């Protein structure tokens, strides 16, 4: 990892590592993601881990998140969560041995995906302590890429997220398949709807210092 990435992470609350995941592994992850998504959209699979919303029109429900992703039967995703290069990257970023604490897939289906409202993942931990790594499986730009308010991870726990995001400025972070975007869980972030024909999927894994127990309130 380049030191500039660590400097950005600590200053801005986010940084991007281009082409971190090898192309062959990206393809394997895409195949697993395709299988999980089509199980919902085409084969009628439902579980409490597959989060979706209904549309007023009564059209097909819109899948937006697969929770507990490491337990959905994909060996390649389970191994990404269990160990390997992402763990090394997170350890470098946090400056401590780490453990992976949560895993989900964010899905922005073409045309129908909604915005993810501005939020902070956690505020119950100090800045620079817990991070999320987003592994992009698709190009992410005008189809609902991540946006951050730089420096917002340093704001107090009780900061007004709506006021912070309203004041901005928001920084959009476009990505390519295989890029990893790292963010401090305290950072104020969100994403826009996907009005395009291009799906946008990312696998998000949370990392915490090995010895730190996290509250489950996320």
The residues with which 183 forms a beta bridge, in sequence order, are 14, 132
The Cα diameter of the chain in Å comes to 50
The least distance separating Ni ion from the CB of residue 153, rounded to whole angstroms, comes to 12
Near Ni ion by CB under 5 A: residue from 12, 16, 70, 121: 121
Nearer to Ni ion, 87 or 183 (CB): 183
The least distance separating Ni ion from the CB of residue 185, rounded to whole angstroms, comes to 8
Nearest to 193, CA basis, from 111, 105, 107, 91: 111
Nearest to 63, CA basis, from 46, 80, 86, 76: 46
The least distance separating Ni ion from the CB of residue 101, rounded to whole angstroms, comes to 14
- Which DSSP letter does residue 163 get? H
The least distance separating Ni ion from the CB of residue 90, rounded to whole angstroms, comes to 16
Nearer to Ni ion, 74 or 134 (CB): 134
**Under rule CB under 5 A, residue 147 binds Ni ion:** no
For residues 97 and 88, give the distance between their C-alpha atoms in angstroms, rounded to a whole number: 9
Which of the stretches 3-11, 69-77, 113-121, 206-214 binds Ni ion when contact is defined by CB under 5 A? 113-121
**Under rule CB under 5 A, residue 138 binds Ni ion:** no
CB 63 within 8 A of CB 113: no
How many residues of this chain interact with Ni ion, rule: CB under 5 A?
1
Q: How many CB atoms lie within 10 A of CB 79?
A: 13
* Interface residue list for Ni ion (CB under 5 A): 121
């Amino acid at each position: 990892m380049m030191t500039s990435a660590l400097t950005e992470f600590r200053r801005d609350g986010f940084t991007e590592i281009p082409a971190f995941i090898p192309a062959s592994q990206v393809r394997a992850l895409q195949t697993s993601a395709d299988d999980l998504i089509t199980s919902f959209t085409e084969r009628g699979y439902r579980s409490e881990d597959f989060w979706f919303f209904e549309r007023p029109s009564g059209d097909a429900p819109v899948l937006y998140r697969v929770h507990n992703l490491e337990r959905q039967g994909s060996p390649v995703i389970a191994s990404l969560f269990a160990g390997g290069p992402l763990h090394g990257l997170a350890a470098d970023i946090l400056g401590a041995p780490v453990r992976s604490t949560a895993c989900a897939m964010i899905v922005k289906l073409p045309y129908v995906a909604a915005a993810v409202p501005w939020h902070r993942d956690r505020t119950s931990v100090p800045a620079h302590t817990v991070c999320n790594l987003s592994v992009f499986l698709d190009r992410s730009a005008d189809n609902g890429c991540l946006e951050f308010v730089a420096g917002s991870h340093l704001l107090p726990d009780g900061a007004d997220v709506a006021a912070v995001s309203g004041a901005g400025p928001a920084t959009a972070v476009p990505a390519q398949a295989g890029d990893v975007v790292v963010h401090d869980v305290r950072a104020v972030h969100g994403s826009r709807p996907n009005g395009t024909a291009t799906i946008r999927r990312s696998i998000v894994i949370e990392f915490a210092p090995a010895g730190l127990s996290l509250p489950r309130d996320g």
